[in-house]
Amino acid sequence: MTRLILILGDQLTPDIAALRSADKSQDIVVMAEVADEATYVAHHPKKIALIFAAMRKFAARLRMDGWDVRYSELDDAHNAGSIVGELLRHTEDTGAKGVVATKPGEWRLIQALEEAPLGITLLEDDRFIASHADFETWAQGRKALRMEYFYRDMRRKTGLLMNEAEPEGGQWNYDHDNRKPAPNSVDAAPMQFVPDATVEAVLELVEARFSNSFGTLRPFHFATDQAEAEQALEHFVENGLAKFGDYQDAMLDSNRFLYHSLLSAYMNIGLLDPLRVCRAVEAAYRAGRVPLNAAEGFIRQIIGWREYVRGIYFHEGPDYPQRNGLNHQRDLPDFYWGRQTKMRCISKAVEQTREEAYAHHIQRLMVTGNFGLLAGINPTELHEWYLSVYIDAFEWVEAPNTVGMSQFADGGVIASKPYVSSGNYINKMSDHCKHCEYKVKEKTGPDACPFNLLYWHFMERHRDRFQSNPRMAQMYRTWDRMDADKRETVLSEAETWLDRMTKGDLV
């Protein structure tokens, strides 16, 4: 009996569960570039190009390995335009009885597949270390679902950076060593690849079909198959990893990548195995080529944070991306889409995002995310922006980072306090403030850094909720010690600034 084996654009792994369950002699692999998946948010052109190019190469690899692959390109005349539509079309064409798929990473697509008349079997995506059942077992009975304790269990389960039952170096976490401000110069860069004929054909397609999307398509230098992704991993371990830990939170006007790996997109679409990546990092540490704080910090992002946010996404359910625990309702400002702003840190983060489809975690959390939280931006709009503009953004990983960690819109499921800061943090970790029209040291007045004004505005408008939080109590005491007239000035100027932003003035 012939079955259809669905492979999605973020499941480009040879031993993905659906393929392992298939019979090469009679089952048919279905892969499709469809409009629904390319447009449910306005994805960055680089993201569309990466996925389509990697899909085409993966399909060719499967054919060489003897699979019968039915592949639909976006402009194929008979393309149904949706994953479900393509499965129904191929069911009718082939007479297949049933569909096998690896469970997608978004509730939206899971629901669409489950509701379709396909006789579908969804298999768990076991590329992850923690299954859904594992996470539910870990979460059961806990008052707070904090990543640090989950991470320790993942270290024990994998044995990464462990000496029998104890963590390497005697500590689980070396984050305190990973907060150095930006260096004067950077002697590393992510590996780049020259587009081949397959990639070039996809770039031409994306130029023709998605030219109005936010983001610059060319130059395009991403890896698009497993061999290239492995090269990118080796390059990072040899050239960037040693200083990754020290400078992972730093930002520079003149360097967009510092010592970051840019491997997340490859892991998220299946070109790299996350555990293999961690083993390579651990091996570099064991060989004495990189310090412990670098290896631990990088591994924590993968087996700690990446696994944890996936667990949270499925644990919390389909409504999670729409949560708005602080009732923030302000529209997303146009400068997130490239309109001019005098805020240098925002301008540089958005410029980089537009041109690279990339910004590192501190740019997302403490610049664009921090501003959104301080200004009271609707978290659903911000969530859709992050999902649209970043090449590594898939809802299972992006929504918890935005709704939970960045915007505190889940009411504290992920974070024990909101991640808000004044301009001082950005000034410490970057050189943006040196080139900004606003003055980071000014607390009030026309030149005052908006982050300074909005920080206290946020604290005051949410005082009832957060003043009893032990991690925020000191800041409320600082605020209360200020002169009453100064507090009134800060709040009044913050309101005026927000009104100007809302009206579309240059701010």
Q: What is the CATH number of the domain that holds 113?
A: 3.40.50.620
Split at pLDDT 50, 70, 90, the class of 2 is: very high
DSSP-derived 3-state class of residue 72: strand
Residues 339 and 390 in one domain: yes
Could you say which of 123, 143, 175 is where a domain stops?
Answer: 123
The CA angle 274-259-233, to the nearest 5 degrees, is 35
Is 259 within a domain?
yes
The domain boundary, picked from 123, 141, 164, lies at: 123
- Of 385, 279, 294, 275, which is closest to residue 332 (Cα–Cα)? 385
217: in domain = no
Does residue 363 share a domain with residue 440?
A: yes
Pair 273, 376 in one domain: no
pLDDT band of 300, cuts 50, 70, 90: very high
- State residue 182's pLDDT score: 85
Query: Would you state the torsion angle of the CA atoms of residues 427, 432, 437, 442, taken in this order, to the nearest 10 degrees?
Result: 0
Domain presence at residue 322? no
DSSP letter assigned to residue 330: B
Determine the pLDDT at residue 176.
86
Same domain, 303 and 353: no
- Tell me, yes or no, whether 228 lies in a domain: no
The CA distance from 63 to 352, in Å, is 37
For the domain that residue 138 is a member of, what is the CATH number? Answer: 1.25.40.80
Q: What percent of the chain has pLDDT over 90?
A: 98
Residues 446 and 374 in one domain: yes
Q: Summarize pLDDT for 243-261 with one digit per residue, the tens.
A: 999 999 999 999 999 999 9
Shared domain check, 169 and 270: yes
From CA 27, how far away is CA 67, in angstroms rounded?
8
Query: What pLDDT score does 225 carry?
Result: 98
Containing structural domain, residue 290? 132-188+240-313
Q: How far is CA 36 from the centre of its chain?
A: 21
pLDDT at 286: 98
Mutual orientation of helices 450-461 and 473-481 as an angle, nearest 10°?
Answer: 110
Residues 6 or more apart in contact with residue 138 via CB below 8 angstroms: 130, 150, 153, 311
Name beta bridge partners: 101: 6, 122
44 occurs within a structural domain = yes
Q: Does residue 215 sit within a domain?
A: no
Cα separation, 10 vs 349, whole angstroms:
26
Q: 377 and 343 share a domain?
A: yes
Confidence of residue 385 (pLDDT cuts 50, 70, 90): very high
- Tally the domains of the chain: 3
Q: Is residue 339 part of a domain?
A: yes
Q: How confident is the model at residue 69 (pLDDT cuts 50, 70, 90)?
A: very high
Encode pLDDT of 132-158 as tens digits: 999 999 999 999 999 999 999 999 999
Q: Within a domain: residue 257?
A: yes
Question: Same domain for 370 and 456?
Answer: yes
- CATH number of the domain where residue 363 is located: 1.10.579.10
Over residues 16-20, the mean pLDDT reads 98
